[in-house]
Amino acid sequence: MDKMDNSNKINYMEMSVNPVIEYGIKRRADIFTVVIFLCLIIIPAVVFWIIPDQKVSEEENRSLQQLPAFSVGSLVAGKYTSSMAKYYADQFPLRNHLIGAKTLFSYAFGINENKGAVIAKDGWLIQRFDKYSEKSIAEKSAGELGGDLTFAENMANIKNNSGYINQFYENIKELYPDIKFTVAVPPRKIDIMTDYLPAHFPIERHEKYFDELHKYINYDIYASLLGLKANGKKNLYYKTDHHWTTLGAYYAYDILGKKMGYTPLTLDHFTVETASENFYGTTWAKAGAKWIKPDRIEYYRIPDDDEIFITEIRGPENSKILKGFYDLEKLETKDKYSSFLGGINSHISIGRSPFISYQPEKLLLVADSFGLGIAPFLALHYDIEMIDMRFFNGNVYDLIKEKKIGSILVLACMENLSTQNNLIKLTAK
């Protein structure tokens, strides 16, 4: 009898073992997945409650949401849940690293903007100004105040502030007819560096800001700084910040000389000193583009300027005297730009040491933070009283009389001119 063909014989042992092995492998994979998932949930939650809450984000230069106090009223109004959502978002572990990873991932897929900060050519970060609130200030609830204005409100602020400056000039002309008066508006980076914006980037609304200014400002006193655009590729602004660099401030000083009546020093009069190579500005904080390299801060020095000039920061809470123009302690902080004259203050005086016999004309510089960069240049020709109308609450006319002011320069950047109305204080005699 022929032997049986075993080629098709069923292996009952394999049938009983292989499914068990496969089931075991699958079960271990499922357990591993669950463990990883639970770790991603539990570990951050545990770390979240262990790590102390941070009060300030130095990278973003803003206060962080703290744990809100519970009340039935705030819960019913929806404020408690909204505050808790902000609290979790602001205090989440490794938040800054996650923001950077998210921005990098988005950029890889062609999304070159975050929080209105555009990642432009060659690593330039440029803030855009053509996104507006859908509600006017009058329509916003108490919880909605702040943030963006409508386009109409931006244009209205430019018109109103131009009127306040014009009225200030008329008041000065009436009271002190011999005082020379100039107004200049530092352009935004987006006004000067349009060539660096992505292809087809909309700039029509951005151009309307200066169109609106030119409708209302008194041309007898106006000195346009839009000529800075001719030097737009010479690093006139910081890559990571909205302020002009020391070189940008120099070119503005050069332009203003003709209108104000001084002869600017040429660049070869200055020694360029690197103050810091690790400056990250406010636009970098908004963009979340952590791979962008920091900026260099430079001082343009003349021989013995720290012996010739004295800067006095005046204020009940922040009084300080600097030899020269620079507060070197600020270079150890996040806001390194504030090393110029000690940063934003309501009133700063710049004069000469007592042993200097030369007494120049006195200039009242009404300026925001852009004034910090240009003041060291202007101080070569004037003794300066610099006030920031966002914080100065004294009587400007009394200051002019007391300090025997001979010239006035109002230097208000377009960003502030279009969003704030503090220049109205200039009109109160």
| Same-domain pairing of 187 and 309 | yes
For the cut 70, the answer to whether the pLDDT of residue 108 exceeds it is: no
Is the pLDDT assigned to residue 96 strictly greater than 90? no
Cα separation, 373 vs 243, whole angstroms? 9
Q: Are residues 46 and 173 in the same domain?
A: no
Mean local confidence (pLDDT), 179-206: 90
H or E stretch at 150: none
Residue 76's SS3 state is helix
How many residues in total does the chain contain? 429
Q: CA-to-CA distance for 166 and 222, rounded, in angstroms?
A: 10
Say what the pLDDT of residue 111 is: 45
> Is the residue at 5 inside a domain?
no
Q: Please list the alpha-helical segments (H only) found in 146-203.
A: 151-175, 189-192
Residues 171 and 317 in one domain: yes
Rounded to whole angstroms, the maximal C-alpha distance in the chain is: 134
Q: What is the DSSP letter of 158?
A: H
Q: Would residue 35 count as lying in a domain?
A: yes
End-to-end Cα, the chain, rounded Å = 128
Looking at the structure, tell me whether residues 157 and 45 fall in a common domain: no
Report which secondary-structure segment, H or E, holds 89.
Answer: helix 79-91
Q: Is the backbone of residue 324 left (phi > 0), alpha (psi -120 to 50) or beta?
A: left
Residue 116's region, left for phi above 0, alpha for psi from -120 to 50, else beta, is: left
Q: Name the least confident of 39-48, 156-165, 240-249, 309-318.
A: 39-48
Q: Which residue has the higher pLDDT, 109 or 381?
A: 381
The pLDDT-based confidence of 1 (bands split at 50, 70, 90) is very low
Find the mean pLDDT for residues 102-113.
48
Secondary structure (3-state) at 326: strand
The answer to whether residue 64 sits within a structural domain is no
**Residues 226, 210: contact at Cβ < 8 Å?**
yes
Hey, what are 139's tokens?
A: 């329509």
Does 159 share its domain with 32?
no
* CA–CA separation, 107 and 102 (whole Å): 9
pLDDT score, position 160: 97
* 8 Å CB contact between 429 and 397: yes
Q: Which two tokens stand for residue 218?
A: 């008194």
Query: What is the average per-residue pLDDT within 32-44?
Result: 59
Is 329 domain-assigned? yes
> Of the candidates 105, 127, 102, which has an alpha carbon nearest to the alpha carbon of residue 117?
127
Q: Determine, yes or no, domain membership for 321.
A: yes
More confident residue, 298 or 96: 298
Nearest to 224 by CA among 260, 194, 185, 188: 185
Residue 84: what residue type? M
Q: Identify whether 107 is part of a domain.
A: no
Residues 40 and 161 grouped into a single domain: no
In a domain, 174, yes or no: yes
Give the whole-number percent of the chain exceeding pLDDT 90.
54
The Cα 384–Cα 190 span in angstroms is: 30
**pLDDT given for residue 133 in this prediction:** 79
Predicted confidence (pLDDT) at residue 337 exceeds the cutoff of 80: yes
How many angstroms separate the Cα of 129 from the Cα of each of 116, 147, 242, 296? Answer: 8, 12, 12, 26
The total number of structural domains that make up the chain: 2
Q: Mean pLDDT, to the nearest integer, of 302-330?
A: 92
Q: Is 407 exposed, middle or buried (0-12, 13-18, 19+ CB in 10 A)?
A: buried
pLDDT at 228 over 80: yes
The reply to whether 190 falls in a domain is: yes
Beta bridge partners of 367: 411
Mean pLDDT of 305-331: 91
21 plus 161 within the same structural domain = no
Per-residue model confidence (pLDDT) at position 277: 96
Cα 62 to Cα 56, 57, 58, 104: the distances in Å are 6, 6, 7, 22
| Domain span holding position 390 | 151-427
More confident residue, 142 or 255: 255
* CA dist., res. 425 & res. 189, Å (int): 27
pLDDT tens track for 348-406: 999 999 888 888 999 999 999 999 999 999 999 999 999 999 999 999 999 999 999 99
E-strand ranges in 372-418 read 382-387, 407-411
Lowest mean pLDDT among 81-85, 104-108, 413-417: 104-108
Instruction: Calculate mean pLDDT across residues 167-175.
Output: 98
Higher pLDDT, 319 or 251: 251
* Boundary (domain end) residue, out of 50, 74, 94: 50
CA distances from 342 to 137, 172, 182, 243, 331 (A): 34, 29, 25, 15, 10
